[in-house]
Structure 1
Amino acid sequence: MGIEVGGLLGLIWLIIVIWAVVKVAKSSAGPVAKLLWILILLFFPLVGLIVWLLLGPKG
């Protein structure tokens, strides 16, 4: 049972991170800012997502 729940939570987490990367890529921020946000999201998924939600580009 633990493997199925862990796998499902991992899949949900992956979808959330991919959604955040797509939102960053579509934002009106400059190319350097976009690249930095995407790298932060990819290398530090948990912390990066929290920081992006709090400080990331709005709109």
Structure 2
Amino acid sequence: RAARRAGLFMIPEETVVPREIVETQQHVENAQEVPGFVDAVVDPVTNALMCATATARKIQ
């Protein structure tokens, strides 16, 4: 543990977080809530998106 605190045996990404990781985390924090079932029923745009991305089911 002392070696880790001193920064020994660490790769650069462990000492300084890359900009890409920081920006990705910011995008995740600023993302909107995922629409749910009620949203798909009430909002026509969400409904269209859910229908377009749904997978086809086999009829047996």
TM-score (norm 2): 0.29
The structure having more radius of gyration, on CA atoms, is 2
Whichever structure has more helix as a proportion of its residues is: 1
TM-score (norm 1): 0.30
- Larger relative CO (CA 8 A, sep 6+): 1 or 2? 1
